[in-house]
Amino acid sequence: MDLENKENQESGLSLMDIISIIKLNWIMITFFTLLLGVLTFAYVSRFVEDRYKSTSEILVQVPVSTERVDSNTLINSQRLLDTAAEFARSPHVVRKLRTEEYYSLITNVEHQILLDSISDRDIIRNISVASSSTSFIVKFSYSHSNRDFTQVITSILTTILIENDILMFEDSFIELSPASDPVDDSPNRILYIIVGLMGGAIIGIGLAFIKHLFNNSYMTKEQLEQGTGIQVIGVIPEFTIKEGKKKMRRRKLFQKDRIAEYDHLVTYESPMSYTAESFQKALVNLEYINVDGNFKVIQFTSTLAGAGKTTFISNVAHLIGKKGKKVVIVDLDLRKPKINRVFRAPNENGVTDYLTGKIDYKTLVNYSEKFSVHYIVAGERTTAVVNVLEAQKLKDLIARLRTEFDYVLLDAPPTMAVSDALYISRLADGVLFIVAQNETKRTVINEAIQTLKQNKVNIIGIAFTQVDVKNSDILSYTYGYGYGYNSSLDDDFDKEKS
């Protein structure tokens, strides 16, 4: 199945994708959830008043013939009852509140002021009338924030209904029960807040999915394997280290704006950490692929710069050296060499110097006692990079290294940046491709891999770097005995130094 078909398969979101998106954006989702929750709480506290409701019961006398009761009679009776219910909250009834006859029934001056301050429309909006299809009783209610005022208005409106001057309803209303003592009719504040929290969560999740739509990079190991059709041999977390005991500053090893030093090998400095274990697992998988020893010379490349290629190759090389095997790193990223920074060595007496005859083989190959790794730096800068990579002397050098070392690791430039990686691939038995989480668009990564495949390059696997394991399921599978792998990644370095 080609990459295009695999991309089409990924057009839909699986349950795991949805869970992954939510986990990766949990801070934003939590922020909006709490924000709307707080705003809703503030609104409820400031603008939502306590309300009270008083209710009276009125019997509507519907004339029914005792001689003949048919369906039409019942329908007309129900219509009359419904009409009476609507009449009870009509402007005709409410306007009478302000006539002298009924206004005088309000003896409390405060209640009179309240009535004067509200409009007929506000009164109608707070009147509720409930009729039943099984009886001729209408429940008449009025709601207001003032408890006593509520009962007074309910009582007067009930009186107005009973004493109405509409011929159709003359002597039709009988008060069964007077206005009741007001009961609490306040809005459910807790429900308001819950709805606010849910609304915030929905907004946060919605923004997370919108962000996902515009972020077309690989976020999970499963997406990467499905999208490229290549096995992921290692998942390396994004991790931080301390610089000094006093400053307690932290910097990311995987980042575009790196400092000049690359010499912090987490596999050396923090061998018991979860990050070091991730490199160890990657090496185990690499050795499993290379069980027959067919991949002695391995090239490391990526799509674009910043994927953590040099960090990955140097840590893996150190682990190989710790096992007693001879390993050499050759810096063939002649345009932007970095291997010399890992070993804090000058970028002198390197590949280009050897090919031009300035130094001999013995001077070319260096050894780090600290990291148990042999290494060859890039050497003097040159503009004829392609000529260097095609030189027969370079091929002879790699052939000699193949006979003297168990592993020859070639640090190559990114595939999409320059064509150097394609020339270097002719020297290697296989290529290990480095992909950083959430860094490069899937289409660009797939294009880089397709370019390698079109040139018949043997891609033996992918290393997935800069992975935010704190927001993924990876930590769920870590060990819990002895090494403290389930602890915070940021604390691993501290534990090693304590």
Residue 288 vs residues 7, 292, 318, 414: alpha-carbon distances, Å:
28, 9, 18, 26
What is the pLDDT confidence band of residue 78, given thresholds at 50, 70 and 90? confident
Residue 250 has pLDDT above 50, yes or no: no
Q: Which structure tokens are listed for 428?
A: 């290697």
State how far the Cα of 27 lies from the Cα of 39, in Å rounded to an integer.
18
Q: Output the pLDDT for position 151.
A: 92
Domain definitions of the chain by residue range: 52-184, 218-497
Residue 212 has pLDDT above 50, yes or no: yes
| Residue predicted with more confidence, 250 or 157 | 157
Say how many C-beta atoms besides its own lie within 10 A of residue 75's C-beta: 10
Q: Could you tell me what percent of the chain has a pLDDT over 70?
A: 82
Nearest in space to 463 (alpha carbons), one of 285, 277, 337: 285
- The helix-helix angle for 71-88 and 147-162 (nearest 10°) equals 130
52-184 adopts what CATH topology? Bacterial polysaccharide co-polymerase-like (3.30.1890)
Q: 152-197: per-residue pLDDT in tens?
A: 999 999 888 888 766 556 667 788 888 889 888 888 889 999 999 9
Residue 446, amino acid: N
Q: Output the pLDDT for position 485.
A: 35
What is the pLDDT confidence band of residue 136, given thresholds at 50, 70 and 90? confident
Question: Mean of the per-residue pLDDT values for the chain?
Answer: 82
Q: Output the pLDDT for position 213.
A: 79
The count of C-alpha atoms lying within 13 angstroms of the C-alpha of 435, restricted to the half-sphere facing its C-beta, is 35
**Secondary structure, 3-state, the chain:** CCHHHHHHHCCCCCHHHHHHHHHHCHHHHHHHHHHHHHHHHHHHHHHCCCCEEEEEEEEECCCCCCCCCCHHHHHHHHHHHHHHHHHHCCHHHHHHHHCHHHHCCCCCHHHHHHHHHCCHHHHHHCEEEEECCCCCEEEEEEEECCHHHHHHHHHHHHHHHHCCCCHHHCCCEEEEECCCCCEECCCCHHHHHHHHHHHHHHHHHHHHHHHHHHCCECCCHHHHHHHHCCCEEEEEECCEEEECCCCCEEEECCCCCCCCCCCCCHHHHCCCCHHHHHHHHHHHHHHHHCCCCCCCEEEEEECCCCCCHHHHHHHHHHHHHHCCCCEEEEECCCCCCCHHHHCCCCCCCCHHHHHCCCCCHHHHCEEECCCCEEEECCCCCCCCHHHHHCCHHHHHHHHHHHHHCCEEEEECCCCCCCCHHHHHHCCCCEEEEEEECCCCEHHHHHHHHHHHHHCCCCEEEEEEEEECHHHCCHHHHCCCCCCCCCCCHHHHHHHHHC
What is the pLDDT confidence band of residue 240, given thresholds at 50, 70 and 90? low
**Mean pLDDT of all residues in 493-498:** 41
State how far the Cα of 482 lies from the Cα of 32, in Å rounded to an integer.
39
What is the pLDDT confidence band of residue 217, given thresholds at 50, 70 and 90? confident
Q: Output the pLDDT for position 10.
A: 45
Domain 52-184 and domain 218-497 have a common topology: no
Residue 308 vs residues 236, 300, 304, 340, 438: alpha-carbon distances, Å:
10, 10, 10, 15, 13
**Contact assessment for residue 376 and residue 331, using Cβ atoms and an 8 Å cutoff:** yes
Q: pTM of the prediction? A: 0.61
What is the pLDDT confidence band of residue 297, given thresholds at 50, 70 and 90? very high
Residue 273 has pLDDT above 60, yes or no: yes
**Mean pLDDT of all residues in 100-114:** 91
Q: Output the pLDDT for position 330.
A: 96
Residue 290, amino acid: N
Which of the residue ranges 122-136, 384-398, 432-446 would you say has the lowest mean pLDDT? 122-136
**Mean pLDDT of all residues in 221-230:** 89
Which of the residue ranges 8-17, 93-102, 319-328, 409-418 would you say has the lowest mean pLDDT? 8-17
> Does 3.40.50.300 match the CATH number of domain 218-497?
yes
Q: Could you tell me what percent of the chain has a pLDDT over 90?
A: 46
What is the pLDDT confidence band of residue 263, given thresholds at 50, 70 and 90? low
What is the pLDDT confidence band of residue 247, given thresholds at 50, 70 and 90? very low
**Contact assessment for residue 474 and residue 255, using Cβ atoms and an 8 Å cutoff:** no
What is the pLDDT confidence band of residue 327, given thresholds at 50, 70 and 90? very high
State how far the Cα of 210 lies from the Cα of 121, in Å rounded to an integer.
44
Q: Which structure tokens are listed for 269?
A: 């400095």
What is the pLDDT confidence band of residue 62, given thresholds at 50, 70 and 90? low
**Mean pLDDT of all residues in 311-322:** 94
- Residues, the chain: 498
